[in-house]
Copies of this chain bind each other. A is one copy, B any other.
């Protein structure tokens, strides 16, 4: 059972927006056992869309299309679908009511004709009601194949996919079992790791696939299995992981969950009723932002001081100016003082502090570009490490944030 995803919109093909919808859809489909054969992004062009629909129909059983459902002239997906299914557009009463409701509840206003025309759908389509916007989702079938059209606005698409599309697909088809397990390692390069576990890789059964995903100093090992026999996959992946773990003990940091490392930390802290705060210089609030992106962060995240200017390290974080004078603002001493200060300021159980130079220029502290000190403090102790994260500003910021979270998680997990 294969799916294809078609994302429609010139804005994708001129690089004005990154297509994040496809990854979300692919992940949700995988969870229910549907493999995605191909993702295709095409222009708002009738012939091109029809051509891609024909190709997708030839390759896949489930075709999910996003985008081009807006009310304006450049949105042509609906008319194109009608043409592809040799159909006409008819007004759907439920959608009309939904549009009136949205305009009343959220815009204290009545919809215009252009808005109301979003209730026009192909007569052969089953409507998937979009409670977050005026463009409905549409479900069409042809020779046992399913075509699903969703709006391109990410949160509208997500709502429709989770609430309507996935349940309807599960009700209609019997899907194989798909399982992915991703092992997080760091400290060893992709090729060195590959050489180390080569013998193990070679004995993997054909229905278990191995992938190496190198990224920012880490390598993720992904095992993927797919079969109608759920137990076979579950047991074999379990067995294979048990075989490989002893060979990578020194670089193994855990299994990748759907949740990010900051979400995992948050869960650990919430369970143990502990809290964390951050004092960030070169990461500029990135770590705080990662924590607070998670629902319920207020249970464990106390706050952060982003002490970007040296003066604010003294004024706000009360770092001893002598320390800065003696060791420079980019130093282990200052990083540790920042972390200790964060513990006091926010009365937290843990604190992360970062100071360094993200580049592109050397800056006041005259520290090498990419050099970052990361300190972790508890109520009892503080320690720090120094890293060099290359010369790409955003990469330095992201690597420093990731590394800091890894250091914190190691510390928390000790307990």
Q: Is there contact, CB below 8 Å, between B293 and A303?
A: no
Segment of A80-88, A234-242, A282-290, A403-411 in the binding face: A282-290
* Option from B70, B316, B358, B395 in Cβ contact (under 8 Å) with A345: B316
CA distance A55 to B40 in the complex (A): 12
Q: Is there contact, CB below 8 Å, between A308 and B297?
A: yes
Name the residue on B nearest A18 (C-beta): B23
Residues of B within 8 A of A10 (CB): 209, 211, 224
Within 8 A of B (CB), among A306-321: 306-309, 311-312, 315-316
Contact mask for chain A residues 32-48; partner B; CB cutoff 8 A; 1 contact, 0 none:
00011111111110001
Segment of A121-129, A187-195, A374-382 in the binding face: A187-195
Within 8 A of B (CB), among A80-133: 107, 111-112, 114-115
Q: Is A301 an interface position by the 8 A CB rule?
A: yes
Q: Is A254 an interface position by the 8 A CB rule?
A: no
Q: Is there contact, CB below 8 Å, between B295 and A284?
A: no
Residues of B within 8 A of A291 (CB): 284
Residues of B within 8 A of A22 (CB): 12, 15, 18-19, 41
What are 19 A-B pairs at a CB distance below 8 A? A13-B26, A13-B38, A15-B27, A16-B27, A38-B52, A71-B191, A111-B191, A153-B215, A285-B288, A285-B289, A286-B292, A288-B288, A288-B289, A292-B397, A293-B393, A298-B364, A301-B309, A312-B346, A316-B316
4 tightest A-B CB contacts, nearest first? A284-B292, A15-B27, A285-B288, A285-B285
